[in-house]
């Protein structure tokens, strides 16, 4: 591989790395969003269960 070709490969690798790093960051943020969503689902389920357990108001 000539020196020019090495620079060519390096330039394309830089571009690929930029895209991959960005996608990796997006994946990490998606994971965080999913964790937050799971926590909210859990809280919603707990709240529903608490409402079901609560005694009926006496008329």
Partner 1 sequence: MSLYGKGLRPLSIATAAVLTGALVMAFLYAPREAEQGNIQRIFYIHVPLAIVALCGFVAGGVFAIQHLRTRDRSHDLRSYVAIHMSLILAVGALVTGSIWARGFWGHWWLWDEPTLVSFLIVFLLYATYQPLRFSIEDPERQARYASVFAVVAGAFVPLNFAAVRMATERTHPRTLTAGGMPGEVWLTFGVALVGMALLFVTLWKFEMAAKHSRFELKALRRRLTGDAGPAAGRSAAPQVTA
* Residues at the site binding partner 1, with contacts judged by CB under 8 A: 2-5, 7-8, 10-12, 14-15, 18-19, 22, 26, 29-30, 33, 36-37, 40, 43-44, 47
- Report the distance separating Cα 28 and Cα 34, nearest Å: 10
Closest distance between partner 1 and the C-beta of residue 24, in Å?
13
Closer Cβ to partner 1, 19 or 59, answer by number: 19
What distance in Å separates the CA atoms of residue 59 and residue 4, rounded to the nearest whole number?
A: 88
By C-beta, is 30 or 49 nearer to partner 1?
30
16-24 CB contacts, 8 Å cutoff, 24+ apart: none
């Amino acid at each position: 591989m000539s020196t020019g070709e090495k620079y060519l490969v390096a330039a394309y690798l830089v571009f690929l790395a930029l895209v991959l790093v960005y996608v990796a960051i997006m994946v990490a943020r998606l994971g965080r969003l999913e964790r937050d969503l799971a926590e909210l689902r859990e809280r919603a389920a707990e709240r529903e269960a608490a409402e079901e357990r609560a005694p009926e108001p006496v008329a």
